[in-house]
Amino acid sequence: MTTRRPRRPSEPVASAFHAAAVQAYGDASHLSPVTGRPAPRRYLVELWQRRHFIWWQSRGRLVTGNDDSRLGSGWLILRPVLDAIFYWLIFGLLLRFDHGMDNFVAFVIVGVFMFQMTGAALTSGARTIASNLSLTRAFRFPRMALPLADLVYDVLQRLPTIAVMFILVIAIPPHETPEWSWLVFPGVLGLHVILNFGIMLLLARLSTLLPDVSHMVPFVSRLLMYGSGVIFPIARFTDNHPALHAIIQLNPLYVLLTMYRQVIIEGVTPPASSWAMLAAYAVCLTIVGGIVFWLGEESYGRDQYR
């Protein structure tokens, strides 16, 4: 039994179709490939040109992102509050880690609320390419706009929770009172946002090379939480282990949370060394992450990275 070969369109039909397409849309000289990797300077220019898209995509997600629950955006505030209460009950009342601390409640609240910003960056960075495959395959745009939109979205939704954090540390005994040091909080937050962006860029690129990265993120996040002093003063337990203590002191998240607590709880401005270290981490991580992400520009959206 012989199989019939598919019929090829005759040359007159193909020529007629080509002529109709040229008449309707012109020749193909004005078309450009969906994928590609422009030069770094051109890439940044194109990214800036998409700033309105990034902003409105973030705003749109902010409005509709929690429509699947009754409390909606209220979970953005309720979740860190519940986490802070849980960790305070376990580490404060049960394990008595609050010994020798004036305000362990504020210590936990600041740690939990601010660490969750980085926890969200880890999760969104590992998923930003996979969750936008249809967009990357259909349109030509700088793919860095995707993690940047995720970053803007997270900052917008965290602003109300930061306000709640300040209200809690003022309202819950022993009460913290506003200090002049609180004025430098936006500076620490700005470096925090830059640091998170670098993390997102690196994870976004790594997730296309190793799709299992998204499954490892919860374990990495938990390791960072316990290794950064989020819920208990970790430096107190590493004094007798110099090598481990030095590693903890170099942890950028530990430095970050220490600066937040110095500003909010202790009422002092962090030392210049802390500012320099955090700024170096944030800038270097973002530059390295940007280069690594840019190098993989042409590969995003391929089937093998699903």
Give the pLDDT mean for 214-219. 89
- Read off the pLDDT of residues 158-195 as tens digits, 9 standing for 90 and up: 888 898 889 888 888 888 899 999 999 999 999 999 99
End-to-end alpha carbon distance in the chain: 40
Q: Where are the alpha helices (DSSP H) in the chain?
A: 11-25, 40-49, 51-64, 74-87, 104-127, 133-138, 145-171, 185-209, 213-227, 242-250, 252-264, 272-295
- Which range has the top average pLDDT, 3-7, 10-14, 79-83? 79-83
- Read off the pLDDT of residues 261-273 as tens digits, 9 standing for 90 and up: 999 999 999 999 9
Q: How confident is the model at residue 31 (pLDDT cuts 50, 70, 90)?
A: low
Q: How confident is the model at residue 236 (pLDDT cuts 50, 70, 90)?
A: confident
pLDDT for the residue numbered 82:
77
Q: What is the DSSP letter of 179?
A: -
Asked whether residue 230 carries a pLDDT value surpassing 80, the answer given is yes
Determine contact, residues 193/106, Cβ cutoff 8 Å: no
How wide is the angle at C-alpha 231 spanned by C-alphas 228 and 233, nearest 5°? 70
Give the pLDDT mean for 53-57. 86
59: tokens are: 């705003």
Indicate the average pLDDT of the chain. 82
Q: Which amino acid is at 291?
A: I
Residue 227 CA to residue 223 CA, distance in Å, equals 6
Neighbours of 65 (CB within 10 A): 14
pLDDT for the residue numbered 157:
86
298: tokens are: 């042409």
- Which range has the top average pLDDT, 15-19, 63-67, 238-242? 238-242
228: tokens are: 């950064």
Tell me the pTM.
0.81
148: tokens are: 């940047």
Asked whether residue 204 carries a pLDDT value surpassing 70, the answer given is yes
Asked whether residue 215 carries a pLDDT value surpassing 80, the answer given is yes
- Please give the backbone phi and psi of residue 104, each rounded to the nearest 5 degrees, phi first: -70, -30
Give the pLDDT mean for 88-113. 75
- Read off the pLDDT of residues 293-302 as tens digits, 9 standing for 90 and up: 999 888 887 6
Question: What size, in residues, is the chain?
Answer: 306
Determine contact, residues 92/99, Cβ cutoff 8 Å: no
220: tokens are: 């990495």
Asked whether residue 97 carries a pLDDT value surpassing 70, the answer given is no
Determine contact, residues 147/204, Cβ cutoff 8 Å: yes
Least reliable range by pLDDT among 138-142, 152-156, 167-171, 238-242: 238-242
| Percent of the chain residues past pLDDT 90, beyond the cut | 37
Asked whether residue 305 carries a pLDDT value surpassing 50, the answer given is no
pLDDT for the residue numbered 3:
54
Q: How confident is the model at residue 249 (pLDDT cuts 50, 70, 90)?
A: confident
